[in-house]
Amino acid sequence: MKITNVRARVFEWKGKTVSPQANFCTNAMDALWDKGDSMHTFRFHGWTVVEIETDQGIVGLGNVALAPRIAKQIIDLYLAPLIMGHDPFDYEYLWQRMYRSTLAWGRKGVAMAAISAIDIAIWDIMGKAVGRPVFKLLGGRTKEKIPCYASKLYRTDLKEMQREAQSYVDQGFSAFKMRFGYGPKDGPAGVRKNLDSVEAVRDVIGYDTDLMLECYMGWDLDYTKRILPKLEKFEPRWLEEPVIADDVDGYAELNSYSNIPISGGEHEFTIYGFRQLLERKAVSVIQYDTNRVGGITAAHKINALAEAYSVPVIPHAGQMHNYHLTMSTLASPMAEFFPVHDVEVGNELFYYIFEGDPTPENGFIQLDDDKPGLGLSLSEQHLEHFNIIE
């Protein structure tokens, strides 16, 4: 079997969107004096979809949400020529070919995300070629079903946050993630508002549940060290990305500072990046996203490395490329799930572009043993709401 065609298209959303309110979610831009919507650079209202075709007529699907127009150019100009005419089952060779040929300007960021999209599509091909789901190629079923946590609860009116939390309780979830809305520039009053929001959510979900707290790189080392002791009484399962991804020393210090585990890795890349995090004991939970980290080939290696360090892997964003890896390894105890929602941050676009993603039942995701590949297809339901760039 040989790869005969690589097609990368950008799907840019032009339909209805929900505009985040002020203090919706802390983020790395909060450290600057810029006024207005600091989250605008972290919304993903466009995705690159990759379709790889073989001489046997099998088409594999991959995707990337980082800088989609740039990702398409990288795929078209640099990566597609490297894999054309090759057997997709030589996936390790193809991954290394893409990685090593782009080392001078790639390694991380959008270049690695573009490699990820191709790699995911290659694994989809392999699953379809042998008539088995991808997780069966990676290690098989390690769980009866995948526990997942409801991941939204952006900082809004506290009563509204409580109503949203109750809706997830009513759906059977027993694990939840919420976002902070205030950081260092907001001073002591912001600290109080952060604590009030955690208390409001805990009042609804109780303490026989898991609650995760998300900072999205919007704090700094000093601020986090001051607020961590105040958060301990709420018994969070982890505090996520308190500082920017490059501050590995900061992560390592915070991870040994209090009883609250520190999580991260959403903005880290390849096994080399995660080896550094693990060797430094910088995180207690790994949160790569397969369509950023280097695809399924890279993520599978990171799972094995994390298992050796006894550090759990709970991939960012849910979605099928992550669910298959979560199902196939004991290193991953649970998955993230973004509820289906009007387009807001952009993670929701996965449901508008693809069909086949499973719906949680009582807080669990199930994968089909008999559905080949990733189990995804392109949706035609919302095409009129996209600007599609060939």
CB 377 within 8 A of CB 51: no
Summarize pLDDT for 295-334 with one digit per residue, the tens. Answer: 999 999 999 999 999 999 999 999 999 999 999 999 999 9
Strand blocks (E) in 142-250: 146-151, 175-179, 210-214, 238-240
Closest CA to 328 of 294, 285, 290, 360: 290
Backbone φ and ψ for 79, nearest 5 degrees, come out as -90, -45
β-pairing verdict for 238-240 and 354-355: unpaired
How much is the pLDDT for 214?
Answer: 98
Print burial letters for 289-319: b (CB count within 10 Å at least 16), e (below 16): bbbbbbbbbbbbbbbebbeeeebbbbbbbbb
Query: Which of the residue ranges 42-51, 127-136, 380-389 would you say has the lowest mean pLDDT?
Result: 42-51
Query: What CA–CA distance (Å, rounded) separates 67 from 44?
Result: 8
Closest CA to 183 of 222, 152, 223: 223
Residue 22: pLDDT band by 50, 70, 90 thresholds? confident
**Average pLDDT of span 373-389:** 97
How much is the pLDDT for 117?
Answer: 98
How much is the pLDDT for 31?
Answer: 92
How much is the pLDDT for 34?
Answer: 76
Of 45, 300, 316, 321, the catalytic one is 316
- C-alpha 269, offset from chain centre: 12
Q: What is the pTM of this model?
A: 0.97
Query: Which of the residue ranges 25-34, 88-97, 253-262, 372-381 would you say has the lowest mean pLDDT?
Result: 25-34
Report whether pLDDT(125) > 80: yes
Residue 41: pLDDT band by 50, 70, 90 thresholds? confident
Summarize pLDDT for 332-377 with one digit per residue, the tens. Answer: 999 999 998 888 888 889 999 999 999 999 999 999 999 999 999 9
How much is the pLDDT for 322?
Answer: 98
Summarize pLDDT for 126-173 with one digit per residue, the tens. Answer: 999 999 999 999 999 999 999 999 999 999 999 999 999 999 999 999
Collapsed DSSP state (helix, strand, coil) of residue 338: coil
How much is the pLDDT for 294?
Answer: 98
Residues 6+ apart with CB under 8 A from 208: 174
CB 252 within 8 A of CB 246: no
Summarize pLDDT for 227-239 with one digit per residue, the tens. Answer: 999 999 999 999 9
Q: What percent of the chain has pLDDT over 70?
A: 100
Report whether pLDDT(20) > 90: no
CA distances from residue 49 to 46, 101, 118, 247, 315 in whole angstroms, order as listed: 10, 22, 9, 31, 20
Q: Is 300 tagged catalytic?
A: no
Collapsed DSSP state (helix, strand, coil) of residue 34: coil
Mean pLDDT of the chain: 96
Residues 6+ apart with CB under 8 A from 90: none
